[in-house]
Amino acid sequence: MTPLFHDRLNVALLSMALLGLVSGLVLWLVGQPDLAGIAWAAGVIPVLLALCVEIVRSLAQGEVGLDIVAALSMSAALLFGETLAAAVVALMYSGGTFLESFAQGRARREMSDLLSRVPRTATRHRNGALDEVPLDDIAPGDLLLIRQGDVAPVDGTVQSAGAMLDQSALTGESMPVRLAQGQDVMSGSTNAGEAFDLRVTRRAADSTYAGIVRLVEAAQKSKAPMARLADRYSLLFLAVTVALATAAWWFTGDPIRAVAVLVVATPCPLILAVPVALVAGLSRAAHFGVLIKGAKPLEALARITTLILDKTGTLTDGRPQIVSIDRHGDLSEEDILYFAAALDQASKHPIAQAIVGVAQARGIVLPIPASVVETPGEGVAGTIDGRRVVVGGAGFVAAQLGVADPESTVVEAGSVVVSLGVDGKLAGHIVMADALRAGTAELLSGLRRLGVGRILLATGDRRAVAEAVTEGLGLDAVRADLTPDQKVLLVLTERKNGPVMMVGDGVNDAPALAAAYIGVAMGARGAAASAEAADVVLLVDHLDRLLPGIEIAQRSRRIAVESVVAGIGLSVAGMVAAAFGYLSPVQGALLQELIDVAVILNALRALRIVPGHVGQIEGSPDDTAARRPPTSTFTAT
């Protein structure tokens, strides 16, 4: 049964139950009790049939839920002529299932297809011309043209002199990688430099990205089940209900008393109050930029004890930022940035564009470069304000200046040095790195206060880079050089010790997100694969949204449990009264309605949840300012 069909079925059942109840009441008021009974029964039967099918399916999977109580009460009420009571129960049940499916459908509406990242076609060299062909037509040995910005559709090797590739979504390596002729290219990598030719080594179905897709599917099948909150009380409540109804009938000989017990016992505080509280929690979480895909993930999010974090784009910003500027002449730091950014306007290299972005954020007005000559992947030479400027790698700049390669600036692992030459002399170095997100230490402390006792880093990046980035954060473990399947293995291992949450943003994180108890994707810039595999998507690139998300989940679940305890307590009291003959089936249904109203009003308190960790989030009117590199990024040397 597809989700769309399931949603439409729930709407239809709710409509039929409501129509049957209302039309029966109208007929009863105009003096047609027989027709009223038929109308009530007509509204109940479709709901009861659908419920029985669902019960059989659940039992086949080894699951016992409270739906059995609802089915017993409707069946008994119809059997003994209490059609009005049956109609009320049918409306309550169909309303609860509609609310739950509505929550899940609403949360998933914005999710994209898993394969949307990879193109459907590729540009192939054939007989001296270029043809656009479907991926399925590509065979090993074919020669493809990968334009700037394109995603490599299949695995292959570089056939041009070189290629500059962004592999961060696959490997976690934050900086673009320069590949020489003959080196391997993984499908899913983005061309960050000039166009190059790719010699195909594997068909699309056998390539790296397709393998990751299969990993996602396998991980989702192995995912730990997340039982509904309502079902955890099902067996005990079912036993109490059947015992009271049987005892009432056995000792009095009156089957109507058993019907009344079953009607009062219909677990509407569970069927209605729990979805209402959780849907309200979903709405509040979305208000703070946390999209949770349904009530089950919300419940699970409230019980997380272990957190596994990806590095690139999650713990770090995922984009190169300036760490420091080293002067080697008379130019000031701002002058060095001015000349480098002005010339880098002519390049589409991600590091060049990062330098331009920093200069613009600082309010520096950049002139138009002249006489520009770019060596792809190496650097750019040109004229700025009449002065000859060259910017790029240290070796490239040294060669352009006609001097020996200068002493390398000492940098930490994971950093990149951009050199600048002006008028034939070395002017300085700009040190860049994928920096840790601001406030990360405070975020981790907040997560521990919310009950997350174990926090780990899992990255495909090098260990030296991972340890340098996370130094001083107090992580419980750092796992580096991981492939996608190794990340899945780590999640499965940690899952043995309690509920695990995995946070990531790249294609390589998707299998681990699917395997975790709760997968969280950085959705604003993350890959479609990770967003699809995740249970929770952070709609903005701020990891601190985890704090209000978890707190809202915990408080929503607490409100749901309160509603359940109060509602079940009142229902048990009503069942006892019905067993002693103080309530008829219709009176029991009306009493149950009053209990429903009370617990639902209590459940709606979840709409007013204000997380205690939200001040810093709501204090900023937009996210743009939060993304600007801070002016304190530059340090004197």
- Sequence ranges of the domains in the chain: 139-202, 318-436
Q: Which of 67, 150, 155, 310 is catalytic?
A: 310
Share of the chain above pLDDT 90, in %: 14
According to the model, what pLDDT value does residue 411 have? 53
CB 494 within 8 A of CB 472: no
410 pLDDT more than 60? no
The confidence score (pLDDT) of residue 114 equals 38
Residue 339, pLDDT score: 94
Helices (H), 387-537: 394-401, 440-449, 463-470, 484-495, 510-515, 528-533
Q: Is 231 a catalytic residue?
A: no
Is residue 563 predicted with pLDDT exceeding 50? yes
Predicted local confidence at residue 110, as pLDDT: 35
Q: Do the bridges between strand 306-309 and strand 454-458 make them parallel or antiparallel, or are there none, so unpaired? A: parallel
Half-sphere CA count of 461, side-chain side, radius 13 A: 33
Which burial class, exposed, middle or buried, applies to 201 when counting CB atoms under 10 A from its CB (0-12, 13-18, 19+)? middle
318-436 fold: Calcium-transporting ATPase, cytoplasmic domain N (3.40.1110)
Give residues with Cβ within 8 angstroms of 628, minimum separation 6.
Answer: 361
pLDDT at residue 174, rounded to an integer: 60
Torsion sign, CA atoms 165, 168, 173, 175? positive
In Å, how far are 96, 138, 421, 424, 635 from 327, measured between CA atoms? 67, 51, 11, 15, 11
CA dist., res. 247 & res. 243, Å (int): 6
Q: What is the pLDDT at residue 107?
A: 39
CA 512 to CA 314: how far, in whole Å?
A: 14
Question: Three-class SS string for 530-591?
Answer: HHHHCCEEECCCCHHHHHHHHHHHHHHHHHHHHHHHHHHHHHHHHHHHHHCCCCCHHHHHHH
Position 380 confidence tier, pLDDT thresholds 50, 70, 90: very high
- What pLDDT was estimated at residue 305? 92
The confidence band for 438, taking pLDDT boundaries of 50, 70 and 90, is: confident
Nearest Cα to Cα of residue 414 among 355, 357, 380, 460: 460
H helix intervals, 253-370: 255-265, 268, 274-287, 295-301, 333-344, 350-361
Q: Return the bridge partners of 292, or none.
A: 536
User: What confidence category does residue 631 fall into, taking pLDDT thresholds of 50, 70 and 90?
Assistant: very low
Residue type, 217: E
Please tell me the predicted confidence (pLDDT) of residue 268.
57
Segment among 102-111, 311-320, 321-330 with least mean pLDDT: 102-111
Q: What is the pLDDT of residues 53-79, one digit of tens each?
A: 887 887 787 766 667 777 887 888 888
| 88-102, 147-161, 620-634: the lowest-pLDDT one | 620-634
What fold is seen in the domain 139-202?
A: 2.70.150
